[in-house]
Structure 1
């Protein structure tokens, strides 16, 4: 979507919906501020009085009042439950409307009887996740985009035994859609984590070696153990080397890398399996935010961030729908 179209969509379809909620946000924020100031003042004054009567030192007591008030006010203000409640209310009211405004998607929400849009057995079948015992879902949606069935789930996966505390196996975004091309064997590609210096040196060495051996035009098409991409950037594995060559094209690698950058991900992984494609974006980021209690919800930058998250997902879906060159 061009920038001009983004702005027009925002002002014509989205802005009229959020004017009322912005008024509500300001009222709620003011209530929170005054309540935080009141409780902080009472707490700090009482603490100062106790110290004064014990120490008989006005300067010491006054300094303690000021410091304790700042600390208590900050903690109370930042950790207020209203902050999370407001974000949740904003998503509940506008999430699906905003998605439909930006994409031509036949969108539907999950049935209340369903526990999750992407079930446990599909996550395990993809080969992207280690075993986990339970998960918590946040934002989820599914629909049909240009004839392709897709599902998106923001999720945390945990592993726990009767003798251990729960540990996080995965936190981030999971994207799953049907491939319009036959995928017989499983192929997995995952980004690597490296320190900046090691990554730069390894990348330079790889590029120089491949430049001499293969030529500049074929750098991204080199196959290492059945994988179509420089090994310094990604870890890959495939049950079918020929099929992997068709799937992991330079165009896909470009879009896959863009996904990692836009989503600000720690790692991204993709599995081609059983005529399906699943992508796991591991990140601490809170995806699809439409605003928060301490920021004007009509701020266009918030919608721009939301749009970037959404658009890169549908770019990948559209690529696998329309790119006939992969020829599977």
Structure 2
């Protein structure tokens, strides 16, 4: 059995096992798993609207997953994606409202502002890690809360005490009349192309540039990299800045594509924290992040249909989704058993 076959079988077996155990949970709880999974399928692929909304849900997950994966590939654990996303969301909204420019200037300006805001927010833990050896996990977690309350306060200032910034100008919007027409007026927008372009950009940076080689080297072994003449501190900061830019772009997708405004939030969006799971599911590779985002986004949106169509309580739905993701995350165990079975077969 070749490595390519194993790579294909691992996620397939993981998903099947997750679905089977999820079905057992539904049966034990007194619900019909066939009806439950039919509702899940319809929630994802049932009609043009569902497909459009599913792809829309996948878009920010792609960018949040890239943010976590990029930092991880360079030896850092970015738990601050949520905060970086929130400041990017606010920056994109503010630029979208405060300026009146032609679309070909306004939209890129708003997107770049979100990326810069996320990068600036991630620069702080990167600098503290590089200069003072302060652990990035602690700093990024704390900065999530600072971002939440800071953006809420800024929204109130911008809106004169209101709960949202107001609708952004059409010249800064990612909304698509074409996508609306083919998906029965879903909120699918052009941001999906930006997210996929960022997947290619991450691959290009890490695999085809000297900077990417240095970033990965520092991630593998800081001391050896320093001995080889690389600037370790610069690469640590650069890694966090790039990761933060990806997270800021995820915020821009929500601001300019899905919601068209920034609003005061009583808690976190969850997208940044889900991005950790997306990156882990995708083994922190660009192609893997696509798989993780598609799986996570599809399950998250499709599951909303299970209580409505199959009458399954939200709590059971959450358990089923968590079990499926758990088995996919345990793909390394499945890979171990497949490779062990393959060695036995070759020995015989």
Name the structure with the higher strand share: 1
Higher Cα Rg, which structure:
1
Q: What TM-score results when the alignment is normalised by the length of structure 2?
A: 0.24
Q: What TM-score results when the alignment is normalised by the length of structure 1?
A: 0.25
Higher RCO, Cα 8 Å, sep 6+ = 2
Name the structure with the higher helix share: 2
